[in-house]
Amino acid sequence: MATVVLGIAAAAVLLPFISGAAVRAEGMHRTLGAKLAADLMEQIVNTDFDQIVGSYNGRLEPQGQVKDAAGVIFTDPAYANFSRQLSCEYVRVPQESSTGQLKFIRVTVQVGYSGNEIVNLSRLISR
């Protein structure tokens, strides 16, 4: 009887730690995902404006194929379940006239972890 009571008490004490570990792991994934999105966005911002759409639009890095700034796939196991997808499109802002050269590109970086989107970062880049 004492063993059963001790087992129930131990389970009650350990359950918060187990759920806390899951929350901590999710937070680490989101933090790393945000860093991956920000690093890629910085790389895009430093690209010549006229080359952004042609170089990055529709780019997909499937799960386990995420690349660093040099174009090398991350081999660290921490990156194994991450994926990235980009979209780049020319846009007009309301203050612009509907004619003339397009001056803005909306860049969206989506980062996924194990098939679930965890980060969505958008930025408007001007000429």
Q: Which two tokens stand for residue 86?
A: 């980009």
**Total structural domains within the chain:** 1
Length of the chain: 127
d(C-alpha 84, C-alpha 117), whole Å: 9
**pLDDT band (50, 70, 90) for residue 17:** low
Domain range spanning residue 112? 2-126
Q: Which two tokens stand for residue 84?
A: 């990235």
**pLDDT band (50, 70, 90) for residue 120:** very high
Instruction: Report phi then psi at 81, rounded to 5.
Output: -100, 10
d(C-alpha 120, C-alpha 7), whole Å: 44
In the predicted structure, residue 121 carries a pLDDT above the cut 90: yes
pLDDT of residue 94: 78
